[in-house]
A and B are shown apart, each in its own frame.
Chain A
Amino acid sequence: MFQKIYLVYGLLVLGVTGIASYRGWSLDNVDQVKNVPRSIRDNPGSYRAVYSGYHHYTGGK
């Protein structure tokens, strides 16, 4: 029983992996923003980046 479930599950994993590869899925954290104004090309500062003000690494051991 478990073996049959595993076979079906494995095929599902292969299928999802194939779809993920084809569609170009990613594990990275990226935010999608809609309706960005065209004026950004002329005035890049008018865009408020989602990750602006991120706490940065200060470095060093």
Chain B
Amino acid sequence: MGTGAPTSGAPPKPEVKALQCPKCGAAIELRSFGHAVSVVCSGCHSILDAKDPNLQILQEFQRITADVAPLIPLGTRGKIRGTDFEIIGYQRRSTTVEGIDYSWSEYVLFNPYKGFRYLTEYNGHWNDVTVCKEVPILDPRLESTSFSSANYLGEVYKHFQTSGAKTTSVLGEFPWQVRVGEAAVVTDFIHPPRVLSREKSTEEVSWSLGEYMYGRDVWSAFHLPGSPPAAVGVFENQPSPASTDVKKTWAAFAGFVFFLLLLLVAFDLASQKDIALNASYTLKPGEPKGEASFVTDVFELKGRTSDVELTTSTNVNNAWIYLNYALINQDTGEAWDFGREMSYYHGYDGDGSWSEGSANDTVTIPTIPSGHYYLRIEPESESGHPQIVYQVVVKRDVPVLRIYGVGLLALLIPAIIITWRSMGFERARWSESDHPPAPILQREDN
């Protein structure tokens, strides 16, 4: 160690002053070029005054608080949002809620031109934290009730939790006079992926803004080996993987429903709905005795390939009729085969009048090309049936409402799933807050 005094007329050489811990003598390395206010000896963990040339001891311990193992070692350099930072300090803090201790880590990052920045980690959830540039506007109810919000740079943050935090261990350099045992009341307001934190100690109130970071991004930023610890549970400002905005999903759903209705109206207006066949037939009592099938006159189905709607109207009354239909293309020999049953029963019993079934039926035969067609009809009914009259109407190109029903369902189900997932995520998030969802409160009450 030299005095630095020049011995000749030559300019003085800059000399390094070796810093040593006044308690244990271990070398003290200052990374923040005099910006640090306190520094922790890596040997005995005494907290020293970094502004004092003699490194006055601010706090010392009977036993070494050496059970501190930062996930990212001090001195590690990395790039956060395009700027290089070095990790110069680390502290472990904890809070006690309902008798259970919850601990998290805070890293002090330093860049000689950009100053300080912080990284916090709890159960694999990371936050990139900066000191607020201006004081957020607090909802005036904060002091009177537990529920409130804060407004920062035009964004509203909901109150999440207020708890007492205590520093349990420290390492490296800090831009404030850090102490183990230092206590503060921390109030968190969230607007995922951001969290606004208000720390109130006996001396001051400070505000910081955090933005959620995934462990893999932190590992990538600091070029750390291996993989980060897996995130456990849902963190207060963790962005929902299901959907950041359920309202937008439902707005999209409403838009789709509008276009679906537009499609329905357009196809309804454009469809032919031409009646190609309208004929009535009678199944006399006791029939069929032998071969009952017959064919209709040939009719023409015009236009592009589209559907055919076949409506059967009967006078069945406490009876049934079953019709085997075949729509046959006279030109190509193609046939569309289907059976339809019409049954209508009614009566009275102890519960009053009842009825079931229907005397009428409609079926849609899909994608029928244009051409000349006829129907083969084979009626069946129970023995001893009354006379049954049935009318058969064949219509060309009729909109199928059920297709739109299926479309509506196909749009609705994912929207519900997205909402459900998002609600589940939010429920998990808020269950850890001062404002847990109602059912959880009820369960706790029980």
By a beta-carbon cutoff of 8 Å, the part of chain A in contact with chain B is 1-3, 6-7, 9-10, 13-14, 16-18, 20-38, 40-41, 44-45, 47, 49-52, 54, 56-61
With A31-B336, A36-B333, A37-B333 in contact, is A59–B322 under 8 Å at CB?
Answer: no
Q: Can you sample 8 A-B contacts with CB below 8 Å?
A: A23-B306, A24-B400, A29-B338, A30-B363, A30-B365, A31-B336, A32-B335, A36-B335
Establish whether residues B324 and A52, one from each chain, have CB atoms under 8 Å apart when the complex forms.
yes
With A17-B263, A41-B330, A59-B343 in contact, is A6–B249 under 8 Å at CB?
Answer: yes
Instruction: Considering the complex, give the chain B residue whose CB is closest to the CB of A12.
Output: B410
Establish whether residues A17 and B407, one from each chain, have CB atoms under 8 Å apart when the complex forms.
yes
* In the assembled complex, B122 has its CB within 8 A of some CB on chain A: no
The one of B243, B305, B337 in contact with A50, judged by C-beta atoms closer than 8 angstroms, is B337
Min Cβ gap B193→A in Å is 14
From B337, B402, B411, residue with most partner A Cβ within 10 Å? B337
- The segment from B48-56, B184-192, B291-299 found at the interface with A is B291-299
With A3-B252, A7-B252, A14-B260 in contact, is A21–B403 under 8 Å at CB?
Answer: yes
Instruction: Flag B407-442 by CB within 8 Å of A: 1 or 0 each.
Output: 100110011001001000000000000000000000
Interface size counted on chain B using CB atoms at 8 A:
72
The one of A14, A33, A35 in contact with B259, judged by C-beta atoms closer than 8 angstroms, is A14
Known: A30-B336, A49-B337, A60-B318. 5 other contacts (CB 8 A): A2-B421, A3-B245, A3-B252, A17-B407, A47-B376
10 closest A-B pairs by CB: A24-B307, A51-B339, A24-B306, A26-B366, A49-B324, A26-B364, A17-B407, A44-B293, A45-B291, A50-B337
The one of B333, B341, B399 in contact with A38, judged by C-beta atoms closer than 8 angstroms, is B333
Establish whether residues B337 and A22, one from each chain, have CB atoms under 8 Å apart when the complex forms.
no
Min Cβ gap B158→A in Å is 22
From A22, A24, A29, A59, residue with most partner B Cβ within 10 Å? A24
- Complex Cα distance, B341 from A22, in Å, reads 28
Min Cβ gap B239→A in Å is 10
Chain B residues within an 8 Å CB radius of A32 = 334-337
Establish whether residues B245 and A24, one from each chain, have CB atoms under 8 Å apart when the complex forms.
no
B residues 275-302 near A (Cβ < 8 Å) are 291, 293-295
With A6-B249, A6-B415, A14-B407 in contact, is A59–B336 under 8 Å at CB?
Answer: no
Min Cβ gap A5→B in Å is 8
